[in-house]
Each structure stands twice: as structure tokens, then as C-alpha cells.
């Protein structure tokens, strides 16, 4: 998925109506100049050459056929998925991080005996390719293919073990044929439809723009023209049909981060309340205005109604003739407003001349039109309660609707602040005042129910639920995407392309100017076709699908990537879904994951795949565990005087901790920030690997921070990982000549052996746990370092001890998922013939975990006098403990020959108190 796609343009995006501001991001495009922080560290002297060892093993793995088989294929399948990248042409550290994590998990699972699926592919449609075509004259297909080749090459350097036999590219006809097929399935199920929607229109280039192509001032990124809002027919997926399921089933996602779940809940935004009818008082029309409110308890405070500017009532025929012209002029002016978001923020409105009847207060109240009421939420009309809603309050003031704002709810503890502040609305729940008739004195919560009951009785209202979630606008007036498989016929209207005619191929021979209609619309020989129903001349749909459609089902295709009959075989998909663990950036927390959930649920409902009973999370949820990885931040230098970002060549970093600005000799300001071109703080993964080796880099990434936290990239500390790997390799080499010795029985181990065996097993237990449940690879690595320190500090055990050998082999095996090449090298040094990945993960021996010795605190009359290590078997043996204490010098001193009145053994033998 594209970190890059969301980063592909340096513009700010404001999602309409949500108030969510997406942070501006920066382009990292294949061929553009990109500054990398220099990795000019003093050359380190290391006794091994990581690159040559890594190359040796990569070669061997390639030719080793038996590696493809799982170690012990009795266990079930395990699907490890990392979000597929947008082929920008260049890997960045974020990619390296995500694939290192997924590779570690999948190698571990393979060694555990699972039949693992770890696929990779390309999210290959999208705007940057089209822009490359417009700006540089390269065909999007060519640009994309080149980038894929380049990135695959870079990936191969990272030693990531992807199953390339499952590779997919969303821009290939073999893939998008099925994206089109799924579109048709949804169409057939009534889940894809067309309606008018507002799009960003560039009046200079005469083209539709994506939201990302409109800057915060509302100007086109290319022409600089102020973008207009135009209504065009667009295609939608009916996500709202699944709103309730998408919301409810979030509770099933036990293994998703809470933060992501909350973001999804907020996005879906369920709101419960009521719909009220207000009868219009007009000779011209017999109608009522329906409003949606979340606060039925404020019905007595309704002092006016407000309609959205494109509410169906707002027409010349419906409005009183004195006001009609001015209202329509107001609405027209709004359409021309450059910045609609600002317009919606504005509380200016216009009186329609209409009045409506509030059935509770029995008053006629004025009806207004204003842009702060959105046409696509609720009923597109609101009841104005200035006393209790902030927006209504402001509207009332700005337009001088009424001068007595009527407070119908007051704070519960009314004694204290009985006087309501009339300069602000009171928006909380409270107690209904005497202005609420028979509902006076009720708490808001109860009043909501009672008023609703009364409204139902009078036939003027009913309970209602609203979702903030909107249907998914999926059509794009763009070339580089999957064509929507629809034909428009003058007599039959909208006709789906018959499935046997799929794919609707994207014609390659088109012209890219970036102006006017999309290249597809201008390609007449492609557009003109025959209606599949009546065979008369017809036209193809020229819109293509949003790339989120491509990525909303790719994980299903991986389960059966070469299927020529269907998008995937249902039994195959059912066997592998839900994805066991999905790893990717948190920037996809909302849209991608929501769309993938929607498509999965829609296909699941059609039984395109099903669930093996008992497998969580169920109900067509596609992803079981979600691991959202944090960003990689780069070391950033700024001039302390000007705050200007400094380029790598302006800073002398030969002393890593004390960099100097070359021109002035001053110390720059140092911070860690999101890597970006404009901050010159990017790090090129390929050169990092070249310089430091793959395995040290992988370990470094995993060690510096837990997966979900920000990683502050400092390649100066990779050397720590290099040194440790060298140490483990040496440790393995000490065993080279030793003959392999079996593990002795627990009870025949010496105490030194017993303790090392315990330590090793304790480490296996902890690490296995972390690899299965917490993914805290940083603690895994520190546990491995502790184990290797323990092994090398145990001087009493020789290389030919079975316990010692067990400790070293376990250490190397547990290192293998994270540092595959060096672990193989160690494994070979240990005299092993088969690849380490053909061996299984070490199992821990629960019997070994108990400590054989007790650290025992000896007290005399409650005062601590002595610490002693005793054998565990003696823990309850009072006379033996007494003998040992008396036998020691200190014990002898405190006890001398005095008789023992009482001997108290507490804490399972860890505390012994002699009362004398
Ligand atoms: C009267 C009222 C009184 C309201 C009060 C709120 C507080 P949520 O909870 O987010 O769903 N509303 C309804 N439709 C709207 C539209 N199309 N455009 C703008 N605002 C709209 O918000 C529901 C509330 O948002 C509704 O409840 C309505 O204002 C407003 F003390 O009705 B309320
Ligand atoms: Zn026809």
C-alpha cells in the first residue's frame, strides 16, 4: 500500500465535513533528486565481512529446493501479510521496517512448523504514474514496470523471504479483470450505483482533480487555478448498507490496536436520535420538513429550521415569490465560493419566507437556508435550537433570527449556578425547565425517550439512527486505473459488461496532456462500442476505479493468484482467511482497512468465501491480528540562527555525537523528524545495507523500538549489532571441533549445567511468547544478548557439554528469523549440514524452569544475619538447614551454642528465622 501514494503530492488535504487535516507529505519519486544523510562513519574494523556471508547464503537458499517445504508440515496454515507497496521506484526505510517485521514473523512461524503464506505484490495503479506520463512523457505502464523491477531488486537485497510465485500487480489485466468482476458482483447485488456528486473541477485544465491535488487554498496543483465544485455523475459502493455490521464487528477484532478500532468507530460515527416532521405553513405546498436530531429533549427550544442549500425544497416553485429570487441568488453565490469548507463554517444564512409548525410548542417558526447544514447528512435539514447547540447559537446571532433565546434545559445542580449564562449555549444534558411543558423536571436522558414517545403518538416523529459514514465514491476521471466495466446505451441505459467480455482492457495507445477530459474519454475507438443487450451503438464508461478498490481485495487473490475462472477459489480463500497477521502503516487505519472490511463482508455474504467454524474473528472480517508499525524518523540538522534545514554536505558528521556546520563551525540543532526530501534527512536503505550488512541492519531496526513506536534512525549504533553477531559467530566456532553430545537427564546434570539449562529454557519460553503474542522484538534481542553473555561467561562448561551445546544451538536458532544469513553461518560453524530453516524452533522444557537452588535469607531473632544458597530439596528440612547455618562461620557467630527455641521457615524456604 502506498505510504508513498499518500505521500505522493506535497499538498494538504482537508476531508470535507470531517475537520480532519491530513498532514502534508512530500514526494519521493523514482527519478527525482533525493538527499540522503551521509553515512560517513569512521570505517570500522570488523573481523567478518557481512556482505560476503549474506551473498553466500542467498545463493545457497536459491539453489536449495528442500527449503520450500515446511519444517514439519503437520500444523495449520499461517498467513503473514505486509501491506503491498506502491511502486514508486524506490524503497524507503518504512518499507524496510515493515518487511523486516513480517519476514521475522513468517520465518519464526515456518520454524514452528506452520504452512506459511508470505506473499508480495504491487499496488500499481494510481496518479504518480500518470503524472510521470504528463511531465516526462513516459507511459504509465512503462514507468510502473521499471519501478517494479527496481524495487524488486532492492527487496532481494534485504533477504526478505517472500513467496514470489504469488506475486500480483494490480495494473495487470490478469488482476484487474477480477477487480472488474468484483465490481460487477457488487453491481448485481445492488451495492454499486451511480449518482450525482460534487467533484473538484479545474477550470483551466478542464479536468477533475483528486482531493490530494487541491491545495489548502483551494487551488489546482498544476494550473494554480481556483478549483470549482461541479456536479457530475459518479459511481459509488454502498458501504452504508454495512454500516451497522462494520461498527458492531469491530468488537470482534480482539487483536487490533484500540486506537485503530476507535478511529474506525469514529469514522463510521453512529448517532442515535429522532426524526421530527415540521408541517410547512404555505398555500403553495402541502409538505413537511423532516429533521434529524440527536437531542429530542430540546424540542421545546426549537426556534427555527435550517435547510441545506441543495435541499429539494429550495426551488423557485416551492418558495414564496417575494423571497425566491434572493434565496436562489444566495445559493448560486455559494456554489461559486472558492473555499467550500470555509463557506460551510460560515453561519450566514437566508430566510426562505416559509414557516413551519412546531407541534410541541404549537408555534410557527421561520425556515432558513444555510451552508452549515450539510445535504448529505441526516435529512439535510436541522431544527435550530440556539440555546443548546453551538452552531445554532452562532447562526441565530449572525442572522438575528430571534432575540429571546429560549433555554429549555438547565444544569442539574441548579442551586449553585441557577442563572444560566445567556451569552453561551448550554450544550450538556440537564433537567428540563418549565418551558418544556409537561416534561418539566425530567432529566434529558429520560425526556428524550418520553418526548419521542409523545411524538410517535402524535404522528410527528420516530426514532432514527444516522451514520457519519458515506458511500464510497469510487469513480475517477483518470487513465491509470481499472476501467469500470459498464456500457451506456441510449436505449438500455446502464448495461454491465458481460463477464465473458472481461477484462475491459485499458487501451495503451493514448495521449497524455493532463488537460481536458481523461485520456480514455478522448479515445473514440475505445469509447464507442456495441450495447451487449440491443447491439446498437453505445459508449463505454470512461471512469476508472479508485486504487483503494484494487487494494481492498488483493489479500484474497494471493490465496489463489493464478485462477483463470474466478477472482479466487472459495475453498482456498476460506482455508487461509482471515489473514493471521497484517502488518503496515497506521496511515491506513481508516480507509484501506474499512474498504477491505467492506469488500470482504460483501463477498462473504455472497459466499465467495466462508469461514471454517471456530476460527476468529468471524463474519467476513479479513484480518485477525493487525500490527501497525510506527514511522521511521531521520536525524535532522538545522541552522541554529536561521532554522534552515541543512543538507548532508553542509554538516560534518565525522564525530557522530558532535556534528558541526562546515561553513561556520557551529553546532547544528539536531532533531528526529519524519524523513522527507525537504528536510534532507532521508536514509537510503540500499546504501545502509551495503555499508553495514543486511542482518545487522535488520537487527538494528528491530532492536531500536517496538514495532508500533517511532523508530529514530541512527546508523551509528548498528555497530552494536555487528559486534554481537561477531560474538555469536565466534561462540559457534568454538563448537566446531567438539563432538556432538546429547543432553544429559535433568537429575544427572551438575549444578552449573542445571543453571545454564534453566537459563536457556527460560529464554526460549520468553522469546517464543514474544514472537507469538507481543512482537516486542527489542526484548527478544536483548534476551538473546543476555543468553549469549551467559554462555560466554560460563567458564566451567566445556564445548563438549551437551548442555552447553544445547544453549548455543538454541541461541542460534532463535536468532535465525531476525538475522537469517549470519545464523546460517553460525549453524554451519556448529557442524550442521542442513539449512537452519529446515530445523524446528526450540521447544522449552517446563521441568527445567524451576531453579534448583534457593537464595535463602537467614535471620536470628528477626534480624538478617546471613544469606545462603541452599539446594531446593532442603527447603523444608529444618535440621539440615540448622546444620548448614551452624557450619558456617557467620552462622556459628550468631547462634553459638544456644538452643533454638523455634525455627520459622517462610516464603517457601527463602526466609529462615531462628528464634533463640
Ligand atoms: C437539534 C439539536 C439540539 C442538535 C442540540 C444538537 C444539539 P451527530 O450527533 O453528530 O449525529 N444536524 C443534523 N443534520 C445535520 C446536517 N445535515 N448538517 C449539519 N448538522 C446537522 O449530530 C446530530 C446533530 O447535528 C443534530 O442534532 C442536528 O442538531 C445536527 F442541543 O438537532 B441537533
Ligand atoms: Zn442497448
Q: What is the predicted pLDDT for the residue at 707?
A: 94
- Classify the phi-psi angles of 643: left when phi > 0, otherwise alpha if psi is within -120 to 50, otherwise beta: left
Arithmetic mean of pLDDT, 463-473: 94
Q: How far is the CA of 295 from the centre of ligand 1 (A)?
A: 8
Helix (H, G, I), strand (E, B) or coil at 600: helix
Nearest atom of ligand 1 to the alpha carbon of 308: 17
Q: How far is the CA of 486 from the centre of ligand 2 (A)?
A: 12
Nearest atom of ligand 1 to the alpha carbon of 381: 17
State which of 18, 266, 293 you would mutate to test the pocket of ligand 1, scoring each by most atoms of that ligand within 8 A of its C-beta.
Answer: 293
For 368, residues 6+ apart whose C-beta sits below 8 A from its C-beta are 304, 305, 306, 307, 349, 350, 351, 352, 384, 395, 399, 401
Helix (H, G, I), strand (E, B) or coil at 22: strand
CB 445: neighbour CB atoms within 10 A?
Answer: 9
Give the model's confidence band at 614: pLDDT under 50 very low, under 70 low, under 90 confident, else very high: low
Q: Are 707 and 113 in contact (CB under 8 A)?
A: no
Q: How far is the CA of 494 from the centre of ligand 2 (A)?
A: 8
Distance CA 488, CA 490 (A): 7
Q: Long-range contacts made by residues 147-152, C-beta under 8 angstroms, separation at least 24?
A: 147/30, 147/87, 147/88, 147/89, 147/90, 148/87, 148/122, 148/124, 150/30, 150/89, 150/90, 151/85, 151/87, 151/88, 151/89, 151/90, 151/91
Q: Is the peptide bond before 617 cis (omega within 30 degrees of 0)?
A: yes
CA distances from 515 to 21, 238, 296, 512 (A): 28, 31, 50, 8
Ligand nearest to C-alpha 289: 1
Indicate the burial class of 317 (C-beta count within 10 angstroms; 0-12, 13-18, 19 or more): exposed
Distance CA 881, CA 875 (A): 8
Q: How far is the CA of 477 from the centre of ligand 2 (A)?
A: 24
Q: Whose CA is nearest to atom 1 of ligand 1?
A: 293
Ligand nearest to C-alpha 534: 2
Q: Are 81 and 579 in contact (CB under 8 A)?
A: yes
Beta bridge partners of 277: 290
**Which among 499, 616, 507 has a CA at the least distance from the CA of 567?**
499
Ligand 1 is surrounded, with C-beta below 6 A, by: 271, 292-295, 298, 308, 373-374, 377-378, 380, 382-383, 385, 388-389, 466
Distance CA 820, CA 833 (A): 16
Nearest atom of ligand 1 to the alpha carbon of 378: 14
Q: How far is the CA of 537 from the centre of ligand 2 (A)?
A: 8
Q: Whose CA is nearest to atom 12 of ligand 1?
A: 382
Distance CA 409, CA 380 (A): 25
Half-sphere exposure (CA, 13 Å, Cβ side) for 561? 17
Ligand nearest to C-alpha 275: 1
Q: How far is the CA of 424 from the centre of ligand 1 (A)?
A: 17
Query: What is the residue-wise DSSP string for 193-206?
Result: EEEEEEEEEETTTT
Q: Are 351 and 398 in contact (CB under 8 A)?
A: no
Distance CA 228, CA 231 (A): 10
Half-sphere exposure (CA, 13 Å, Cβ side) for 287? 11
Ligand nearest to C-alpha 495: 2
Q: What is the predicted pLDDT for the residue at 335?
A: 75
Q: Whose CA is nearest to atom 27 of ligand 1?
A: 293
Least confident of 506-515, 526-535, 571-580: 506-515
Distance CA 673, CA 561 (A): 39
Output the nine-digit C-alpha cell for 168: 500480483
User: Is the pLDDT score of 18 beyond 90?
Assistant: no
Ligand nearest to C-alpha 496: 2
**Which among 104, 901, 76, 208 has a CA at the least distance from the CA of 517?**
208
Q: Whose CA is nearest to atom 31 of ligand 1?
A: 388
Least confident of 704-708, 800-804, 886-890: 886-890
Least confident of 10-14, 297-301, 404-408, 790-794: 10-14
Question: How high is the mean pLDDT of the chain?
Answer: 88
Nearest atom of ligand 1 to the alpha carbon of 294: 27
Q: How far is the CA of 532 from the centre of ligand 2 (A)?
A: 7
Q: What is the predicted pLDDT for the residue at 68?
A: 64
* Integer Rg of the chain from CA: 35
State which of 272, 301, 306, 377 you would mutate to test the pocket of ligand 1, scoring each by most atoms of that ligand within 8 A of its C-beta.
Answer: 377
Nearest atom of ligand 1 to the alpha carbon of 387: 31
pTM check: above 0.75: yes
Half-sphere exposure (CA, 13 Å, Cβ side) for 196? 5
Residue range 286-314, pLDDT digits in tens = 789 999 999 999 999 999 999 999 899 99
Amino acid at each position: 500500500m502506498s505510504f508513498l501514494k499518500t505521500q505522493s503530492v506535497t499538498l494538504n488535504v482537508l476531508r470535507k465535513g470531517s475537520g480532519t487535516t491530513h498532514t502534508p507529505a512530500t514526494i519521493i519519486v523514482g527519478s527525482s533528486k533525493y538527499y540522503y544523510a551521509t553515512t560517513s562513519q569512521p570505517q570500522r574494523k570488523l573481523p567478518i565481512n557481512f556482505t560476503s556471508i549474506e551473498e553466500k547464503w542467498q545463493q545457497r537458499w536459491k539453489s536449495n529446493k528442500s527449503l520450500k517445504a515446511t519444517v514439519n508440515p503437520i500444523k495449520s496454515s499461517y498467513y503473514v501479510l505486509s501491506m503491498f507497496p506502491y511502486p514508486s521506484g524506490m524503497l524507503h526505510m518504512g518499507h524496510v521496517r515493515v518487511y523486516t517485521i513480517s519476514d521475522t514473523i513468517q520465518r519464526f512461524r515456518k520454524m514452528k512448523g506452520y504452512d506459511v503464506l508470505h506473499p508480495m505484490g504491487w499496488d500499481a495503479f494510481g496518479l504518480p504514474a500518470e503524472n510521470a506520463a504528463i511531465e516526462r512523457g513516459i507511459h504509465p505502464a512503462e514507468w510502473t514496470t521499471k519501478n517494479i523491477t527496481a524495487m524488486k531488486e532492492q527487496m532481494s537485497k534485504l533477504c526478505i523471504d517472500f513467496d514470489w510465485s504469488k506475486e500480483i500487480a494490480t495494473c495487470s489485466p490478469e488482476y484487474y479483470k477480477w477487480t472488474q468482476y468484483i465490481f460487477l458482483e457488487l453491481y448485481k447485488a445492488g451495492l454499486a450505483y451511480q449518482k450525482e456528486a460534487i467533484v473538484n473541477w479545474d477550470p483551466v485544465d478542464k479536468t477533475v482533480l483528486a482531493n490530494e491535488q487541491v491545495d489548502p487554498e483551494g487551488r489546482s496543483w498544476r494550473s494554480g487555478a481556483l478549483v470549482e465544485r461541479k456536479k457530475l455523475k459518479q459511481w459509488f459502493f454502498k458501504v452504508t448498507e454495512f454500516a451497522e455490521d462494520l461498527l458492531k464487528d469491530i468488537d470482534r477484532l480482539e487483536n487490533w490496536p484500540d486506537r485503530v478500532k476507535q478511529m474506525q468507530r469514529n469514522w463510521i460515527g453512529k448517532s442515535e436520535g429522532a426524526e421530527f416532521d415540521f408541517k410547512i405553513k404555505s398555500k403553495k405546498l402541502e409538505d413537511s420538513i423532516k429533521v434529524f436530531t440527536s437531542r429530542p429533549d430540546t424540542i421545546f427550544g426549537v426556534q427555527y429550521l435550517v435547510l441545506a442549500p441543495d435541499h429539494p425544497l429550495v426551488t423557485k416553485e416551492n418558495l414564496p415569490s417575494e423571497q425566491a429570487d434572493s434565496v436562489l441568488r444566495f445559493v448560486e453565490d455559494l456554489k461559486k465560493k472558492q473555499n467550500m469548507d470555509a463557506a460551510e463554517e460560515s453561519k450566514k444564512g437566508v430566510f426562505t419566507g416559509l414557516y413551519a409548525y412546531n407541534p410541541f410548542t404549537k408555534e410557527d417558526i421561520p425556515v432558513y437556508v444555510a451552508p452549515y447544514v450539510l445535504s448529505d447528512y441526516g435529512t439535510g435539514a436541522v431544527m435550530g435550537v440556539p440555546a443548546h447547540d453551538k452552531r445554532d447559537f452562532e447562526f441565530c446571532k449572525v442572522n438575528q433570527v430571534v432575540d429571546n433565546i429560549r433555554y429549555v434545559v438547565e444544569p442539574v445542580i441548579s442551586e449553585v449556578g441557577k442563572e444560566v449564562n445567556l451569552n453561551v449555549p448550554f450544550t450538556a444534558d440537564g433537567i428540563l425547565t418549565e418551558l418544556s411543558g409537561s416534561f418539566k423536571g425530567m432529566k434529558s436522558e429520560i425526556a428524550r425517550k418520553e418526548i419521542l414517545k409523545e411524538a410517535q403518538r402524535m404522528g410527528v416523529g420516530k426514532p432514527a439512527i444516522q451514520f457519519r459514514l458515506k458511500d464510497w465514491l469510487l469513480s475517477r476521471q483518470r487513465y491509470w486505473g481499472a476501467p469500470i466495466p459498464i456500457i451506456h446505451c441510449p436505449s438500455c441505459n446502464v448495461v454491465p459488461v458481460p463477464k465473458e467480455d472481461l477484462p475491459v482492457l485499458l487501451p495503451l495507445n493514448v495521449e497524455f496532456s493532463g488537460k481536458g477530459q481523461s485520456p480514455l474519454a478522448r479515445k473514440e475507438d475505445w469509447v464507442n462500442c456495441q450495447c451487449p443487450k440491443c447491439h446498437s451503438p453505445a459508449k463505454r464508461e470512461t471512469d476508472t476505479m479508485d486504487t483503494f478498490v484494487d487494494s481492498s481485495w488483493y489479500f484474497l487473490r494471493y490465496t489463489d493468484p493464478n485462477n483463470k475462472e474466478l477472482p479466487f477459489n472459495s475453498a482456498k480463500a476460506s482455508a487461509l482467511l482471515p489473514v493471521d497477521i497484517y502488518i503496515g502503516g497506521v496511515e491506513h487505519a481508516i480507509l484501506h482497512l474499512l474498504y477491505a472490511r467492506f469488500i470482504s463482508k460483501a463477498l462473504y455474504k455472497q459466499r465467495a468465501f466462508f469461514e471454517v467454524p471456530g476460527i476468529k474473528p468471524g463474519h467476513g472480517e479479513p484480518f485477525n491480528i493487525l500490527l501497525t508499525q510506527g514511522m521511521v524518523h531521520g536525524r535532522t540538522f538545522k541552522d541554529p540562527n536561521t532554522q534552515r534545514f541543512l543538507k548532508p554536505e553542509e554538516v560534518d558528521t565525522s564525530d557522530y555525537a558532535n556534528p558541526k556546520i562546515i561553513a561556520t563551525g557551529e553546532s547544528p540543532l539536531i532533531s528526529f523528524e519524519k524523513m522527507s526530501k525537504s528536510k534532507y534527512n532521508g536514509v537510503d536503505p540500499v546504501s545502509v545495507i551495503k555499508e553495514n550488512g543486511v542482518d545487522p541492519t535488520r537487527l538494528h531496526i528491530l532492536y531500536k523500538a517496538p514495532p508500533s513506536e517511532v523508530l529514530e534512525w541512527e546508523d551509528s549504533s548498528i555497530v552494536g549489532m555487528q559486534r554481537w553477531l561477531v560474538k555469536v559467530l565466534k561462540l559457534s566456532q568454538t563448537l566446531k571441533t567438539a563432538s556432538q553430545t546429547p543432553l544429559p537427564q535433568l537429575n544427572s546434570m551438575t549444578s552449573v549445567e542445571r543453571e545454564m539449562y534453566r537459563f536457556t529454557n527460560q529464554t526460549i519460553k520468553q522469546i517464543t511468547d514474544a514472537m507469538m503474542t507481543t512482537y516486542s522484538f527489542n526484548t527478544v534481542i536483548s534476551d538473546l544478548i543476555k543468553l549469549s553473555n551467559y554462555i560466554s561467561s560460563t567458564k566451567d562448561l566445556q564445548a563438549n557439554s551437551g548442555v552447553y551445546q544445547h544453549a548455543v544451538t538454541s541461541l542460534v536458532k532463535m536468532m535465525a528469523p531476525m538475522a537469517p544469513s549470519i545464523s546460517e553461518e553460525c549453524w554451519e560453524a556448529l557442524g550442521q549440514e542442513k539449512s537452519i530453516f529446515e530445523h524446528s524452533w526450540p521447544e522449552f522444557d517446563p521441568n527445567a524452569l524451576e531453579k534448583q537452588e534457593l537464595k535463602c535469607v537467614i535471620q536470628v531473632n528477626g534480624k538478617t544475619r546471613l544469606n545462603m544458597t541452599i539446594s531446593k530439596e532442603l527447603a523444608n528440612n529444618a535440621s539440615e538447614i540448622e546444620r548448614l547455618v551452624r557450619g558456617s562461620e557467620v552462622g556459628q557467630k550468631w547462634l553459638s551454642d544456644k538452643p533454638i527455641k523455634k525455627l520459622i521457615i517462610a516464603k517457601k524456604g527463602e526466609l529462615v528465622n531462628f528464634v533463640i
